[in-house]
Amino acid sequence: MASASPSQASLLLQKQLKDLCKKPVDGFSAGLVDESNLFEWSVTIIGPPETLYEGGFFNAIMSFPQNYPNSPPTVKFTSEVWHPNVYSDGKVCISILHPPGDDPNGYELASERWSPVHTVCKPVITSSTKGNNLELCCFDSPKYCRNLHPYRIL
């Protein structure tokens, strides 16, 4: 797979942020943490109506690698979030944020993992529109059942 240069990644991130400003995604807002760094975004997800998260504002940092979009961003909540796929330090673990290709552990299909064709919005839409919460996981996943961990309360 060809590697994206930092300038290509910067241009793409700049375009995606601009597109988000022009066509906002319901329940989501984003901006730069520092105007001089396109690789770190401050995001807010608004709890979807009729869910356990309704009325909540959940802040996170999306950090993009220098070879974006070939590698996925990382997401770390800075707000307290109660969810099995949000670790106690706020890091998010969902399939779409895992590197492209086959899962070495065999838990995920390659189609469920990051792909360079995804945009910044894909993980956000995935996390804010499924189920009755910020749907960041599959509760019956064998990996989830084996790796229960403490998570944070709203």
Ordered DSSP codes for 85-123: TB-TTSBB--GGGSPSS--TTSSS-GGGS--TT--THHH
Q: Active-site residue among 21, 93, 138, 145?
A: 93
* Cα–Cα distance for residue pair 24/46, rounded to 1 Å: 13
Q: Is 93 annotated as catalytic?
A: yes
* Cα–Cα distance for residue pair 20/18, rounded to 1 Å: 5
In order of 2, 52, 53, 124, 153, the CA distances from 62 in angstroms are: 23, 23, 20, 10, 21
Contact 112/72 with Cβ under 8 angstroms? no
Catalytic positions are 93
